[in-house]
């Protein structure tokens, strides 16, 4: 059954355009929306969701989608309906929003440190199943305090580094020391290992870890890997049991550049308006870094702050806060003043996080818009 | 009189930390706040506000501050209390928030195009004095439609380019053609010229424009310039009548790099926590691009995604969405796991726009927090 049957309007605060497209049937085309505005195509999104679930099912991998990309409880629920085993959040604030909406089995794949975080984790653990990641003793102590305060068991995984050089312990010895302490701490349950992103080093680490853990009398119940760009080949890369992916729901220019999606798989586009054409080779859009972010893609993927699929020779050379400067000098047909144009964002997750609401559409027709309740939940 | 007397709490949604700093007098130190969190020092902010007003007063320039930096009506009101002649907004949504809060005399320094924008501008013009900028005929037509619909007079200025290559007409001839049409359009009032940022070319353009406009029987009532980085020397650069500046209220690393502020003038800092120390030379902070943005500063100003004033040899080499990766290898004293650290943002305006609320402090003591009502108002 479709997520949003045609004609339903799931609510939202987007102002209707007086006199434009709002006929007696209340229909509106996406081209009629006020700009700038992020719009998600529901059919493309559904296809993306199902394809990843099918991939995980085919390879016996549990899918635990990361909600950082959409920050919308209803979409997290949809991911669970399709077969996801729980969800992943980066911050407590995101997890609180998801738990409030009825989501259960939440993994915070992030080291939480401090009294305040322990209190909030405890409050969550009292009402939903919680799992957290640690790569250091203070994060472990925070989880232990939360377990004590809540009286609930909290799953803990140890994060190791597969070459990303961000969080994660660098040696099997460190991982084992943390795992032993987790196993010895009342209220904590050692759930296994995690890494981000999954890489060839993931397998190397695991193969070294297994005998070391076994010698210490510890099983590794599970290996959790992550990252949308490399998701489709993960079964060849490392024997992960669980996959944490976020971007695949919408996709973006970086995903296309990584070969993990096509332009047709990009469910989110930003609609913008050409508000100035001050020179033959220059168009100015009403979207800047406050709409698209300043995130770039890898140089080999392409230049600029987003891709204009209808003007493949255009380059968004600069974003100021509310302006996008486009070099249209190499376009045979150039965008005109006042024209509505589409932009595929470089990085969809940060676009979501800039906007209070997102519009959903199907076949170019607006279905409705939703506020994004976990937007800005950085704590 | 002080804006916020010590001990007052102007409200806000920041969760108090149970048991931390909230003694019987309700006081809390900024170091006790949950992280990541943007914190503004009220005394530094007040000093910044007064210094710019004093500069403008000394040079006979009307100050029309840009609210894009703070997006807070109460701070816009404070700017007006100190002597500002109206305010500047970039988007209609910002202007609507400001008008709702009682601000009057609002300049939208941005080309507005289309039916929906005309309706909203008309609604604003019915209740507050409005002025808009145009650099093309469609923006002019939008303003004309708004004037017709509202029955109110709308001020219109013509934007010209002083070398920034963004919006703005490039020739005096284009500016004059638009000015003539404004003057001939019922409901519109030609208010003069504007540019961004003010530069040496501003004077050149003006000197060419004056005789051309005079020959056409048009006066240029006013020249509006802008840009915080060059504000302090503007009286030597071009004879502007009005100054539009935003960043000066908080300042940031880019302003320091431009020589327009010192580190002590940076009113906004982001407090973050070291959540991982996976290697001797690497610290991971709980703030990434969803907290700091991905905005860089000019290479000559320095590397990285923000400045850590307490660790001048540290470099924030990478931001992912919720992680800041810091190279601490050259720090004699290195930040420890769990430590709270301060970051001066590269670009304060985009930091404001990422957060639902900002905390205000004085002498390191939390005064309160405010939601940021114009956050995300990109339309």
Of B35, B166, B321, the CB nearest to A350: B321
Q: Where are the alpha helices (DSSP H) in chain B?
A: 42-58, 73-81, 92-100, 115-125, 137-150, 172-184, 200-215, 234-237, 253-257, 289-292, 348-352
* All residues at 6 or more sequence positions from B204 whose CB lies less than 8 Å from its CB, including other chains: none
- Minimal Cα–Cα distance from A288 to chain B, Å? 9
Is residue A281 classed as helix, strand or coil in its secondary structure? coil
Interchain contact, A115 vs B19, CB within 8 Å: yes
Contact list in A for residue B318 (CB cut-off 8 A) is 166
Q: Which of B204, B220, B248 is the last residue of a domain?
A: B248
What's the pTM? 0.94
A222 and A281, same structural domain?
no
B257 and B346, same structural domain?
yes
Q: What is the pLDDT of residues A264-286, one digit of tens each?
A: 999 999 999 999 999 999 999 99
Residue A340 falls inside a structural domain: yes
- Minimal Cα–Cα distance from A186 to chain B, Å? 23
Residue A230 falls inside a structural domain: yes
Of A113, A170, A289, the CB nearest to B350: A289
Q: How many domains does chain A have?
A: 2
pLDDT band at A25 (very low <50, low <70, confident <90, very high): low
Interchain contact, A170 vs B321, CB within 8 Å: no
Of B278, B290, B318, the CB nearest to A167: B278
- Among A13-27, A234-248, B352-366, whose mean pLDDT is lowest? A13-27
A322 and A209, same structural domain?
no
Q: What is the pLDDT of residues B201-218, one digit of tens each?
A: 999 999 999 999 999 999
Beta bridge partners of A223: A193
Suggest the residue from A93, A278, A323, A354 to mutate for an interface test with chain B (most B CBs closer than 10 A).
A278
Nearest CA among B377, B349, B376, B363 for reference residue B38: B349
CB A286 within 8 A of CB A35: yes
Q: What is the pLDDT of residues A97-130, one digit of tens each?
A: 999 999 999 999 999 999 999 999 999 999 999 9
CB A265 within 8 A of CB A275: no
Mean pLDDT of A342-355: 98
* Whether pLDDT at A11 is above 60: no
Q: Domain residues for A213?
A: 43-248
Tell the residue number behind the tokens 């760009």, with chain if given. A229
Structure tokens at A232: 């489709």
Is residue B357 classed as helix, strand or coil in its secondary structure? strand
Residue B157 falls inside a structural domain: yes
Cis upstream peptide for B3 (omega within 30°): no
Beta bridge partners of A108: A89, A132
CB A102 within 8 A of CB A73: yes
Residue B83 falls inside a structural domain: yes
How many Cβ atoms are within 10 Å of A140's Cβ, its own excluded?
Answer: 22
Contact list in A for residue B111 (CB cut-off 8 A) is 275-276, 284
Structure tokens at B256: 């320091």
Residue A17 falls inside a structural domain: no
Contact list in A for residue B139 (CB cut-off 8 A) is 275-276
B167 and B47, same structural domain?
yes
A241 and A257, same structural domain?
no
- Among A24-38, A195-209, B88-102, B275-289, whose mean pLDDT is lowest? A24-38
Q: Is the dihedral of CA A199, A205, A206, A207 positive or negative?
A: positive
Is residue A305 classed as helix, strand or coil in its secondary structure? coil
* All residues at 6 or more sequence positions from A197 whose CB lies less than 8 Å from its CB, including other chains: A162, A164, A225, A226, A227, A229, A230
* All residues at 6 or more sequence positions from B203 whose CB lies less than 8 Å from its CB, including other chains: B237, B238, B239
CB B260 within 8 A of CB B228: yes
Mean pLDDT of B258-264: 97
Interchain contact, B166 vs A325, CB within 8 Å: yes
Interchain contact, A68 vs B282, CB within 8 Å: no
Contact list in B for residue A20 (CB cut-off 8 A) is 115-116
B259 and B182, same structural domain?
no
**Distances, alpha carbon B80 to alpha carbons A229, B5, B249, in Å:** 50, 19, 13
A91 and A169, same structural domain?
yes
B193 and B167, same structural domain?
yes
Between CA B319 and CA B292 the distance in angstroms is 8
Interchain contact, A320 vs B166, CB within 8 Å: yes
* Whether pLDDT at A26 is above 80: no
Interchain contact, A295 vs B273, CB within 8 Å: no
Q: What is the pLDDT of residues A144-179, one digit of tens each?
A: 999 999 999 999 999 999 999 999 999 999 999 999
Contact list in A for residue B379 (CB cut-off 8 A) is 34-37
Contact list in A for residue B37 (CB cut-off 8 A) is 379
Mean pLDDT of A232-255: 97
| Strand extents, DSSP E, B208-320 | 223-226, 242-244, 268-279, 282-285, 315-319
Contact list in B for residue A371 (CB cut-off 8 A) is none
DSSP string, A101-163: TT--SEEE-S---SHHHHHHHHHHHTTS-EEEEESSHHHHHHHHHHHHHH-S-EEEEEEB-SS
Mean pLDDT of B214-240: 95
Q: Which of A248, A273, A290 is the last residue of a domain?
A: A248
Interchain contact, A276 vs B34, CB within 8 Å: no
- Would you state the pLDDT for residue A16? 41
Residue A194 falls inside a structural domain: yes
Interchain contact, B354 vs A34, CB within 8 Å: no
Of B15, B294, B325, the CB nearest to A166: B325
- Among A8-22, A202-216, B220-234, B313-327, whose mean pLDDT is lowest? A8-22
- Would you state the pLDDT for residue A27? 85
Between CA B62 and CA B85 the distance in angstroms is 6
Interchain contact, A354 vs B378, CB within 8 Å: yes
Which chain B residue's Cα is nearest to A320? B166
A257 and A243, same structural domain?
no
Interchain contact, A167 vs B135, CB within 8 Å: no
Between CA A74 and CA A102 the distance in angstroms is 10
Whichever domain contains B333, its CATH number is: 2.40.37.20
Share of chain A above pLDDT 70, in %: 93
* All residues at 6 or more sequence positions from A333 whose CB lies less than 8 Å from its CB, including other chains: A311
Share of chain B above pLDDT 70, in %: 93
Whichever domain contains A151, its CATH number is: 3.20.20.10
* Whether pLDDT at B154 is above 50: yes
- Would you state the pLDDT for residue B25? 62
> Average model confidence (pLDDT) for chain A?
94
Beta bridge partners of B282: B279, B327
Of A138, A170, A379, the CB nearest to B337: A138
Regarding predicted confidence, which is higher, A258 or B17? A258
Residue A13 falls inside a structural domain: no
- Would you state the pLDDT for residue A229? 87
Of A110, A375, A378, the CB nearest to B36: A378
Between CA B292 and CA A40 the distance in angstroms is 26
Instruction: Name the strand (E) or helix (H) holding B166.
Output: none
B139 and B155, same structural domain?
yes
Residue B374 falls inside a structural domain: no
Contact list in B for residue A15 (CB cut-off 8 A) is 116
* Whether pLDDT at B27 is above 90: no
B180 and B288, same structural domain?
no
- Minimal Cα–Cα distance from B284 to chain A, Å? 7
For A375, counting Cβ atoms within 10 Å of its Cβ (0-12 exposed, 13-18 middle, 19+ buried), the class is buried
Is residue B343 classed as helix, strand or coil in its secondary structure? strand
Interchain contact, A276 vs B111, CB within 8 Å: yes
DSSP string, A38-78: EEEEHHHHHHHHHHHHHHHHHTT-EE--BGGGT--HHHHHH
Of A113, A322, A323, the CB nearest to B273: A113
Suggest the residue from B275, B324, B353 to mutate for an interface test with chain A (most A CBs closer than 10 A).
B275
Of A138, A273, A322, the CB nearest to B90: A322
Which chain B residue's Cα is nearest to A117? B34
B232 and B256, same structural domain?
no
Between CA A335 and CA A120 the distance in angstroms is 50
Interchain contact, A338 vs B295, CB within 8 Å: no
Q: Which of A248, A268, A302 is the last residue of a domain?
A: A248
CB B287 within 8 A of CB A378: yes
């Amino acid at each position: 059954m479709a997520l949003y049957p045609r004609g339903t309007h799931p609510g939202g605060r987007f102002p209707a355009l007086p006199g434009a497209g709002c006929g007696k049937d209340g229909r509106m085309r996406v081209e009629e929306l006020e700009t700038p505005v992020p719009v998600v195509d529901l059919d493309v999104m559904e296809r993306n969701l199902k394809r990843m679930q099918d991939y995980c099912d085919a390879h016996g991998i549990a899918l635990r989608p990361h909600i950082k990309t959409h920050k919308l409880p209803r979409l997290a629920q949809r991911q669970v309906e399709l077969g996801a085993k729980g969800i992943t959040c980066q911050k407590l604030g995101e997890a609180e929003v998801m738990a409030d909406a009825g989501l259960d089995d939440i993994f915070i794949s992030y080291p939480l440190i401090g009294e305040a975080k322990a209190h909030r984790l405890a409050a969550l653990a009292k009402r939903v199943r919680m799992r957290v990641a640690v790569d250091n003793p203070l994060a472990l102590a925070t989880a232990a305090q939360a377990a004590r305060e809540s009286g609930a068991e909290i799953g803990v995984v140890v994060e190791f580094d597969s070459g990303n050089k961000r969080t994660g312990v660098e040696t099997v010895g460190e991982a084992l020391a943390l795992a032993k302490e987790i196993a010895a701490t009342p209220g904590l349950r050692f759930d296994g290992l995690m890494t981000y992103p999954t890489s060839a080093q993931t397998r190397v680490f695991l193969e070294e870890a297994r005998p070391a853990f076994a010698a210490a009398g510890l099983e590794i119940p599970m290996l959790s890997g992550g990252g949308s760009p490399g998701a489709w080949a993960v079964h060849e890369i490392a024997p992960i049991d669980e996959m944490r992916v976020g971007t695949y729901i919408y996709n973006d220019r970086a995903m296309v550049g990584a070969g993990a999606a096509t332009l047709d798989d990009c469910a989110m586009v930003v609609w913008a308006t050409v508000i100035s054409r001050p020179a033959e080779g220059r168009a100015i859009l009403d979207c800047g870094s406050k709409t698209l972010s300043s995130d770039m893609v890898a140089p080999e993927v392409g230049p600029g702050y987003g891709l204009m699929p209808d003007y493949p020779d255009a380059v968004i050379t600069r974003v100021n806060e509310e302006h996008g400067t486009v070099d249209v000098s190499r376009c045979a047909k150039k965008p005109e003043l006042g024209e509505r144009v589409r932009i595929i964002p470089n990085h969809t997750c940060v676009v979501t996080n800039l906007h209070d609401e997102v519009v959903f559409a199907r076949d170019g027709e607006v279905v409705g818009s939703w506020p994004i309740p976990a937007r800005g939940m950085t704590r």
